[in-house]
Amino acid sequence: MTVQDIPTLNATLNGLATVLLTTGFALIKAGRKEAHRRVMMTAVVVSALFLVGYVTHKILIRGVHTNLGAKGVVATVYHTMLISHILLAMAIAYLVPRTFLFALRGDFTRHRAWARWTFPLWYYVSVTGVLVYFSLYVWWPAAK
């Protein structure tokens, strides 16, 4: 594995987190609490691995790569998505562990109340993380 492979690995982890979040949501709606717990614990681990990979990549390349090879409306949509993704990613770095902690403590009333906010934000960050990857590395990579 090279440093150039890390963004693809990170996007894969983000995509997997999205699948796990979707599954966890469906499980809790179906009343399958134990299965929900296992899936959401896996989602937290996958997201933590993503964060380690993301920080490692930024350290190794000595910066953040956000240059898009597109202009006009595509660039405007991308930058709007990127800004919202970054801001909400900072928020979920606090919200996810806090929501998870309530569940671990058995405080399901507070867990549920926090999850109503955490889940859609985490889901958005997970999906837009994959879209940022595709925008930067697949659909509109910047000229080298």
Burial 119-132 (b: 16+ CB within 10 A, else e): beebbbbbbbbbbb
pLDDT in tens, 77-117: 999 999 999 999 999 999 999 999 999 999 999 999 999 99
The second-level CATH assignment, the architecture, of 3-139 is: Up-down Bundle (1.20)
Torsion angle, alpha carbons of 71, 72, 78, 79, to 10: 90
Q: How many CA atoms lie within 13 A of 137 on its CB side?
A: 15
Tokens 């859609």, located at residue = 120
- pLDDT single digits (tens) 8-67: 999 999 999 999 999 999 999 999 999 999 999 999 999 999 999 999 998 998 876 667
**Domain extent listing, the chain:** 3-139
Residue 144, pLDDT > 70, answer no
